[in-house]
Structure 1
Amino acid sequence: MSQSTTSSAATLATVTFGQQSISLEQVVSVAKGAPVKLNDSQQYQENIQKGARFIDSLLHEEGVVYGVTTGYGDSCTVTVGLDLVHELPLHLSRFHGCGLGDIFSPMQSRAIMACRLNSLAVGKSGVTYELLQRIELLLNLDICPVIPEEGSVGASGDLTPLSYLAAVLVGEREVTYQGQRRATKDVYAELNIVPLTLRPKEGLALMNGTAVMTALACLAYDRAQYLARLSSRITAMASLTLKGNSNHFDDILFDAKPHPGQNQIATWIREDLNHHTHPRNSDRLQDRYSIRCAPHIIGVLQDALPFMRQFIETELNSANDNPIVDGEGEHILHGGHFYGGHIAFVMDSMKNTVANLADLIDRQMALVMDPKFNNGLPANLSAATGARQSINHGFKAVQIGVSAWTAEALKNTMPASVFSRSTECHNQDKVSMGTIAARDCMRVLQLTEQVAAAALLAMTQGIHLRIAQQELAEESLTPSLAKTVQQVSADFELLTEDRPLEAVLRQTVSKIQLGEWEVC
């Protein structure tokens, strides 16, 4: 998403870490610029410090701890001398500095930092309170690590992308600050920030976790939830444009198949159409599936959202690195909490349900464009009249674009989690691919938002054409639907003469991503 991360920061509530579980909405809020506060009670600070002190005591007693006195991964059999232990975290961050691909946006980078901070704040990672404070400082100064998107297989967590956060903490690599990409050391020098020296276990604790995929999942959930509501509104607009039969959304009908999410979608469409007060009945007994079955299609996502939230927020509020450090009971527990299988499943599932929204709206667009199916509207919804009809083509090319975006979204629904690869000398021999699944999901969301943007313009045009043809009374529109038509019309003049639509499409996509269309 392209919006500024700090444009609305002044209106966002402070999010506190280390006090209680946080919600995915709070991660989204931090991503958008909300200030953060670390629990500063003495009891909490002591709880964090216990883990760090326990690590120190093990070093003093020459205990063997993975990633502290040993190499990493398959190199765990390599013993690291105590004189070199303090250099090990720096080497971990440096040799993982091999990310490629596009760069996560500042908004996504903030979400990543928030997720890593929250996991470390659980107090099971053996890090110092000072490390948590430094991430808090970066967020509040809006210093965002420059993190490449590619390089994680989702176990041992998001090692390569999170190495860019670790590197920034020690003053290396690059950050985005005040809209500019700059060397971290230069920004630190300007702000009199002293780079951290990572203590034993802190490099591993920062990098060996699921913060990147979880951050993307939080952002994806927020967008998918909005798209479910927006797709319902677009369906109501499409039904009006096509002179559809509102009986398809009747509450008695949906009482017979009581999926709660599906029935919520039907309720939203029914209310937008004002079905009980103003039932709209066409000559057709049954509309085509892309209208009649819309609640069943959108409803799959709506019904999946509760379990998706549970998976995401449990991961968000977990300690997900290795080993787990029990400072209270003085145990080192070696395991696999870095494995991102739950997030991978959510992201693979979400991209499927979201792409189905694109496919649904694509079919609705095909119906309203075609005079064989749109029940008396001009081809391609062109508003041109008279002799000029022959040279004007309305939404013809936009509909082609919608088909292209939909096809790409559907292509990206292949589950990433089934493509596990054995890597790192077969130590990481079964991995989650959760971050690839999350990146796929973000792409599918972008494409579906583009489809929805095109449909908002087209259905608004269709409703205006029905009103102009005196087949729909403007005063019969429900306040909710009239508001959407008004909002879209404020940006989009009736398409009478052909003109480039790229700019208004981009503007509409941006407003969808900002949640600016009032769909409640």
Structure 2
Amino acid sequence: MNTETKNIEFGAQRISIADIVNVAFKSAPVKLSNDKTFAKKIDAGVAFLDKLLKEEGHIYGVTTGYGDSCTVDVPLSLVEELPMHLTRFHGCGLGDFFDHDQGRAIVASRLVSLSQGYSGVSWDLLNLLVEMLNQDIIPVIPQEGSVGASGDLTPLSYVAGALIGERDVYYQGEVMKSAEAFAKAGLKPIKLRPKEGLAIMNGTAVMTAVACLAFDRAEYLSKLMTRVTAMASLALKGNSNHFDDILFSVKPHQGQQQIASWIQHDLNHHKHPRNSHRLQDRYSIRCAPHVIGVLQDSLPWFKQLIENELNSANDNPIIDGVGEHVLHGGHFYGGHIAMAMDSMKNCIANIADLADRQMATMVDVKMNHGLPSNLSAASEDRKYINHGFKAIQIGCSAWTAEALKLTMPASVFSRSTECHNQDKVSMGTIASRDCLRVLQLTEQVVAATLLATVQGIRLRVMQNELSMDTLNPDVAAMVEDVSSFFELLDEDRPTDNLLRETIGYIQQQRWDLYEK
């Protein structure tokens, strides 16, 4: 990741997507702010709830049941047991589990919201969440079971359950009960105060955390696909005039212009303009800035939506301890994240389709302008039995088709649930999970296409149709770096491990691209 490890302070300042990424992947240490205003909000919220309970106030989720059961008054003798029951009956999550890093992002995202000071939670709860991150005790959270309104109730119940010592966690490379991990770390489970179970669970932390991680990958992918396009143009003896700055000045989408400028830079256009005999290259090259540019222009909008949700109090009810108000609403509704993720996965899938078309062009002798069939580097006498990138290109078709299939927006599939109390829901968590899957598939296609462009450039050099010393230094360095782990494909061999290695490098953001 192209982020720097730093202390992340919760409670008095805005938390960024980059902060969540740092907590997730670099285990950046976290702490609570000692800002007096922040402390006042936390103290006032706890005191106000205690006051209401003492006066037998009627508080949703504190002295009543949950959701449709809000009409059920809970006797004061049972109020303290209610949060525990909430965590337990929501322990029905299924599907794959979020991995360790994703779990860190989820815990951090919930901590951001609770640290806004409008959830009525105690210092004990906040401090234990901080210790869980700093000592790397991370809840094991199933991915399925949230409709994205009333928040991520079921997956977040695994965070709440871990806090009271009843659920599994990742700790020291193992999965164990949180009570056992706490004991090893010198910590103790807490007893949830009234409202605290609801405060942890009734929010958008899962979908928002996933959105933060998706944004980071999408931002890098936009740059990587730009570099891959430039390399594909080189491999195909493309026309660098397609990315001219005057040309793009007349269609002033800033992100699109940025992509074109980066490609023009990579093609070393001003020093070595490449004017092929073709007046126009195929759309997958010529229109690449228009495809990648949609994502590039959307990134600021996605960032705004995600970071606003991240830095919000998004449970129910909102507890204004300072002003002594209990405010019932629907801030747990994940519509903004759903929109961002449904839109992002559309942009990303189009990147997969673009890369797939570039790959298809490079392997086809009818379109690749003199490159060998399937980009095979086999010798003349052995070309008859070698197949180069043939199967990899088929794989790209499969991965792209699956990515495109997942572009159906999850947010349009709202369903009435929970006895029609939750009668309009966001499906934001499903949209976020879909987006991660589309990113994975697209990274697979781009990894394959990157390898193909390197093979193509090396073949042009071998054919004396291209010289490495005329390449932009950044492009030349990337070709050399990829060639350090990718041996020229001359004889057929399995490439699955190579592809996985390349995908790993993409997800680790191995290459610094277009740093300003």
Task: State TM-score, norm by structure 2.
Answer: 0.98
Query: Which residue in 2 is equivalent to 1:171?
Result: 165
Equivalent residue in structure 2 for 1:404, among 384, 395, 398: 398
> Does structure 1 retain, via aligned residues, the 8 Å contact 2:229–2:263?
yes
Query: Which residue in 2 is equivalent to 1:28?
Result: 21
User: Matched residues in 2 for 1:467 and 1:194: separation?
Assistant: 64
Q: Secondary structure of 1:390's match? A: coil
> Does structure 2 retain, via aligned residues, the 8 Å contact 1:484–1:519?
no
Equivalent residue in structure 2 for 1:15, among 8, 27, 32: 8
2:478 corresponds to 1:477? no
Deviation of the 1:484 alpha carbon: 1.1
User: Matched residues in 2 for 1:519 and 1:195: separation?
Assistant: 45
Matched to 2:391, the amino acid is A
Q: Secondary structure of 1:391's match? A: coil
Equivalent residue in structure 2 for 1:326, among 301, 320, 325: 320
User: Matched residues in 2 for 1:308 and 1:52: separation?
Assistant: 34
> Does structure 2 retain, via aligned residues, the 8 Å contact 1:210–1:320?
yes
> Does structure 2 retain, via aligned residues, the 8 Å contact 1:483–1:518?
no
> 1:304-323 CA distances to partner (integer Å, 9 max, x unpaired)?
01111100000000000000
User: Matched residues in 1 for 2:80 and 2:259: separation?
Assistant: 56
> 1:425-451 CA distances to partner (integer Å, 9 max, x unpaired)?
000000000000000000000000011
Q: Secondary structure of 2:411's match? A: coil
Query: Which residue in 2 is equivalent to 1:85?
Result: 79
2:417 corresponds to 1:423? yes
Matched to 1:253, the amino acid is L
User: Matched residues in 1 for 2:51 and 2:513: separation?
Assistant: 57
User: Matched residues in 2 for 1:129 and 1:192: separation?
Assistant: 18
Matched to 1:344, the amino acid is A
User: Matched residues in 1 for 2:74 and 2:477: separation?
Assistant: 66
Query: Which residue in 2 is equivalent to 1:61?
Result: 55
User: Matched residues in 1 for 2:277 and 2:35: separation?
Assistant: 69
> Does structure 1 retain, via aligned residues, the 8 Å contact 2:23–2:105?
yes
User: Matched residues in 1 for 2:184 and 2:133: separation?
Assistant: 17
2:118 corresponds to 1:124? yes
Deviation of the 1:41 alpha carbon: 4.3
User: Matched residues in 2 for 1:424 and 1:349: separation?
Assistant: 28
2:402 corresponds to 1:377? no
Matched to 1:201, the amino acid is K
Matched to 1:475, the amino acid is D
User: Matched residues in 1 for 2:198 and 2:187: separation?
Assistant: 23
2:113 corresponds to 1:113? no
> Does structure 2 retain, via aligned residues, the 8 Å contact 1:484–1:518?
no
User: Matched residues in 1 for 2:46 and 2:484: separation?
Assistant: 58
User: Matched residues in 2 for 1:358 and 1:420: separation?
Assistant: 28
Deviation of the 1:211 alpha carbon: 0.2
User: Matched residues in 1 for 2:179 and 2:19: separation?
Assistant: 30
Equivalent residue in structure 2 for 1:296, among 267, 287, 290: 290
User: Matched residues in 2 for 1:308 and 1:386: separation?
Assistant: 51
Q: Which residues in structure 2 correspond to 1:130-169 (within 5 Å)?
A: 130-169=124-163
User: Matched residues in 1 for 2:38 and 2:124: separation?
Assistant: 13
Deviation of the 1:192 alpha carbon: 2.9
Deviation of the 1:47 alpha carbon: 2.1
Deviation of the 1:191 alpha carbon: 2.4
Query: Which residue in 2 is equivalent to 1:491?
Result: 485
> Does structure 2 retain, via aligned residues, the 8 Å contact 1:51–1:127?
yes
User: Matched residues in 1 for 2:203 and 2:390: separation?
Assistant: 47
Q: Secondary structure of 2:175's match? A: strand
User: Matched residues in 1 for 2:147 and 2:29: separation?
Assistant: 31
Deviation of the 1:44 alpha carbon: 2.8
- Show structure 1 runs of 5+ residues with no match: none
Q: How many residues align?
A: 513
Query: Which residue in 1 is equivalent to 2:217?
Result: 223
User: Matched residues in 1 for 2:200 and 2:493: separation?
Assistant: 51
Query: Which residue in 1 is equivalent to 2:457?
Result: 463
Matched to 1:12, the amino acid is T
> Does structure 1 retain, via aligned residues, the 8 Å contact 2:12–2:35?
no
> 1:133-175 CA distances to partner (integer Å, 9 max, x unpaired)?
1100000001110000000000000000000000000001100
Deviation of the 1:40 alpha carbon: 3.0
Deviation of the 1:42 alpha carbon: 4.9
> Does structure 1 retain, via aligned residues, the 8 Å contact 2:284–2:358?
yes
Q: Which residues in structure 2 correspond to 1:427-438 (within 5 Å)?
A: 427-438=421-432
> Does structure 2 retain, via aligned residues, the 8 Å contact 1:170–1:195?
yes
Query: Which residue in 1 is equivalent to 2:42?
Result: 48
Query: Which residue in 2 is equivalent to 1:336?
Result: 330
Matched to 1:86, the amino acid is E
Task: State TM-score, norm by structure 1.
Answer: 0.97
Query: Which residue in 1 is equivalent to 2:267?
Result: 273
User: Matched residues in 1 for 2:93 and 2:453: separation?
Assistant: 42
Q: Secondary structure of 2:326's match? A: strand
User: Matched residues in 2 for 1:443 and 1:99: separation?
Assistant: 19
User: Matched residues in 1 for 2:325 and 2:397: separation?
Assistant: 56
User: Matched residues in 1 for 2:497 and 2:96: separation?
Assistant: 23
